[in-house]
Amino acid sequence: MPGNGELKVSRSTAELKEDIERAREQIATSANALREEVAAKTDWREWVRQRPGLAIAGAIALGLFLGTRE
């Protein structure tokens, strides 16, 4: 029985390597999902496709603003 402050290591090296590999795969999956979500949220073309009227109104307003500046 382990004393105070001692941990009994009962897992084999192979089990630890499997756990590390599984953790790497989960991190890679999470990173890819995050990358895809950020790409979808920052895609201005998709924003325009979803809101064509607002995009046109914004373009007109910007054109009027830039056209009337001295």
Alpha-carbon distance of 29 to 68, in angstroms, equals 50
Instruction: Write the pLDDT tens digit of every residue in 33-42.
Output: 999 999 988 9
pTM over 0.85: no
- Using left for φ > 0, alpha for ψ between -120 and 50, and beta otherwise, residue 49 falls in alpha
Please, which residues have CB within 8 angstroms of residue 40's CB and are 6 or more apart in sequence?
A: 46
- Which two structure tokens, joined as six digits, stand for 5? 């402050």
- Using left for φ > 0, alpha for ψ between -120 and 50, and beta otherwise, residue 5 falls in left
Instruction: Write the pLDDT tens digit of every residue in 10-69.
Output: 778 889 999 999 999 999 999 999 999 999 889 989 889 999 999 999 999 999 999 998
